[in-house]
Chain A
Amino acid sequence: MTRPQIAPRGEEKLYFSALADGNLTYGFCLACSTSHFYPRTLCPNCHSDDIESRVGSGRGTIYSFTTQYRAGNPALEDQVPYTIVMVDLEEGYRMMADLVGSEPEAISIGLPVVAEIEHPDNEHPVVHFRMEVSHGR
């Protein structure tokens, strides 16, 4: 699968190299004990730079979603329709990714999902979510 190509820099690169090792990371502020995503050099809550990169469980629930019947990028034209989800992770942060393995009718807000990491050859790794209870299988 070919994805839109990205060019991460600095702390962005650290996130993708952690993914390449199989770890979905998020930022955790040691000063105020809150989580954030995407990972930052500074806590967006208290502005401390005492940030720890933590590995998350990848488990969460769907905050919202959309199924697109057009591709948002030419590289994804053969994937249409595909679903993008906003997920509230159990560690207290929210992230966006796509949802794989479910028919659009089976998707709704509040359902549990779990992250998986795909690492295509010669590309950046990519996070997908999958419904924890599979439907129609």
Chain B
Amino acid sequence: MADKSVAIVGAAQIDTFKTTDRSPVGLAALAAKRAVEEAGLQMSDIDAVFSSSSYYAMPTLTMAEYLGLSPNVVDSTSTGGCSFVQHLGHAVAMINQGLCEVALIVYGSTQRTDAGKLVSMAEQSVYEQQYGLIHPVGAFGMIAHRHMKEFGTTSEQLAQYAVSAREWALLNPEAPYPTPLTVDEVLSSGIVASPLHKLDCCLVTDGAGAIVVTSGARARSLKQKPVWVLGTGEAQNHRNISQMPDFTSTRASVSAKRAFEQAGVGIADIDTAHVYDAFTISLLILMEDLGFCAKGEGGSFVENGRLAPGGELSLNPNGGGLSFSHPGMLSMFLMIEAVAQLRGTAGARQHDGAKLSLVHGMGMTLASHATAILGNEEPS
């Protein structure tokens, strides 16, 4: 059988809290250079560019032009924050089709420098625009209220995830806030969109990231130990929050099932999980739908430090979107942390002997989903 293996061979992130004198594409270009260099490749080896952006309507054209590249194929799939995990799945398919050999997935944002406002060129529905729903926290407030109503989830439980994420961040020298957080601090941080408090929400940061993906054949001869892409899956079901069929369940269950089946592994095999935590409630619902706990049990699952360092699962060990970095779209940085864990280079937050990682990105208001299973042992 033909070798269908594909691996991540370069990964880099830069200015994950605050940058200076860099535009979004300028910052992204520097992340791209680092990722290509650490792979032991040249920029001229790149023959495919994948990007999504809140700034650039045609991000692959913008990126390729800025980098001085003329790629054979591009993909600017834009489904919100999960786009880059989708790009990874598409890169695997394109490499296996022979459309390209070395793919660059790249993203940059200067959202913190841009006065801390979420930058978005996404249009709003004319049926909803008049009401001033804050995207995305207003929708996540409605999602949280519904989860509380159906399952008895409490604000204290949501706050516990924020506390665990901060404990992880304390082990990450690149995380911006080197002080612990308490449940009371989360609950007294002021309500933004009920029932969600300021500290239920992700940070607003700058940041750029890039990963380089290539065929197994090429990967084996490169500088880094390959991180193998063992399975990917994607799914989606709405654009506007009013069209989400059930506010407490998502199609993360579908994308995860596809990724697990392709990888031939199960959830019990996962060593580290990198799950989109734009909000405490988004994390909690995704943990249910990915299968880490049963539907409705997310609240009790995040209690008692189960997800903190030394707990049952190494979840978002870099501190995640809540306590490390969230430059508008997070899934790039979820993948980069998974790569660090699988290479064994994550320092004080390293999960000893990590072999298998799950990355799950969601986009918009739990609208789109992409799951990837990554591992450091070559698939047989």
Measured between beta carbons, the chain B residues less than 8 angstroms from A31 are none
Given contacts A66-B141, A66-B142, A95-B127, contact A4 B193 (CB under 8 A): no
Question: Nearest Cβ in chain A — how far from B96, in angstroms?
Answer: 33
Measured between beta carbons, the chain B residues less than 8 angstroms from A8 are 126
Measured between beta carbons, the chain B residues less than 8 angstroms from A95 are 127, 242
What 1/0 flags go to A63-83 for Cβ under 8 Å of B? 111111111110110010010
Question: Nearest Cβ in chain B — how far from A33, in angstroms?
Answer: 19
Do residues A96 and B241 form an inter-chain contact, with CB atoms below 8 A?
A: yes
Query: Contact partner of A73 among B126, B132, B190, B193, CB < 8 A?
Result: B132
Do residues B131 and A97 form an inter-chain contact, with CB atoms below 8 A?
A: yes
Measured between beta carbons, the chain A residues less than 8 angstroms from B225 are none
What 1/0 flags go to A92-129 for Cβ under 8 Å of B? 00111110000010000110000000000000101000
Do residues A69 and B190 form an inter-chain contact, with CB atoms below 8 A?
A: yes
Question: Nearest Cβ in chain A — how far from B131, in angstroms?
Answer: 5
Question: Nearest Cβ in chain B — how far from A16, in angstroms?
Answer: 8
In this complex, which of B131, B193, B195, B241 has the most chain A Cβ atoms within 10 angstroms of its Cβ?
B131
Of B49-57, B143-151, B161-169, the stretch lying at the interface with chain A is B143-151
Chain B: interface residue count, which band?
20 to 34
**Distance of A71 Cα from B241 Cα, bound (Å):** 18
Q: Which of B120-140 contact A (CB under 8 A)?
A: 125-135, 138-139
Closest to A8 in B: B126
Question: Nearest Cβ in chain A — how far from B146, in angstroms?
Answer: 4
Query: Contact partner of B192 among A37, A70, A76, CB < 8 A?
Result: A70
Question: Nearest Cβ in chain B — how far from A89, in angstroms?
Answer: 12
Measured between beta carbons, the chain A residues less than 8 angstroms from B191 are 67, 69
Question: Nearest Cβ in chain A — how far from B337, in angstroms?
Answer: 30
Question: Nearest Cβ in chain A — how far from B176, in angstroms?
Answer: 22
CB of B62 within 8 Å of the partner chain: no
Measured between beta carbons, the chain A residues less than 8 angstroms from B192 are 68-70
Do residues B146 and A72 form an inter-chain contact, with CB atoms below 8 A?
A: no
Measured between beta carbons, the chain A residues less than 8 angstroms from B146 are 63-64, 109
Measured between beta carbons, the chain A residues less than 8 angstroms from B130 are 3-4, 6, 124, 126
In this complex, which of A15, A109, A124 has the most chain B Cβ atoms within 10 angstroms of its Cβ?
A109
CB of B194 within 8 Å of the partner chain: yes
Do residues B126 and A82 form an inter-chain contact, with CB atoms below 8 A?
A: no
What 1/0 flags go to B143-184 for Cβ under 8 Å of A? 101100100000000000000000000000000000000000
CB of A55 within 8 Å of the partner chain: no
**Distance of A3 Cα from B193 Cα, bound (Å):** 19
Measured between beta carbons, the chain B residues less than 8 angstroms from A38 are 125, 127, 242
**Distance of A122 Cα from B195 Cα, bound (Å):** 35
Do residues B142 and A86 form an inter-chain contact, with CB atoms below 8 A?
A: yes
Do residues B242 and A94 form an inter-chain contact, with CB atoms below 8 A?
A: yes
* Known contacts A71-B132, A86-B247, A124-B130; 13 further A-B pairs (Cβ under 8 A): A12-B127, A64-B142, A66-B195, A69-B190, A70-B134, A70-B192, A72-B133, A84-B132, A95-B127, A95-B242, A96-B127, A109-B145, A109-B149
Chain A residues near B (Cβ < 8 Å): 3-4, 6-8, 12, 15-16, 37-38, 63-73, 75-76, 79, 82, 84, 86, 94-98, 104, 109-110, 124, 126
The 10 tightest CB contacts between A and B, nearest first, are A66-B141, A72-B132, A72-B134, A76-B132, A64-B142, A73-B132, A64-B146, A67-B194, A38-B127, A96-B242
Chain B residues near A (Cβ < 8 Å): 125-135, 138-139, 141-143, 145-146, 149, 190-196, 240-242, 247
Q: List 22 A-B contacts (CB under 8 A).
A: A8-B126, A12-B126, A64-B142, A64-B145, A64-B247, A66-B141, A68-B132, A68-B192, A69-B190, A69-B194, A71-B132, A76-B132, A79-B132, A84-B132, A84-B142, A86-B142, A86-B241, A96-B127, A96-B128, A96-B131, A109-B146, A126-B130
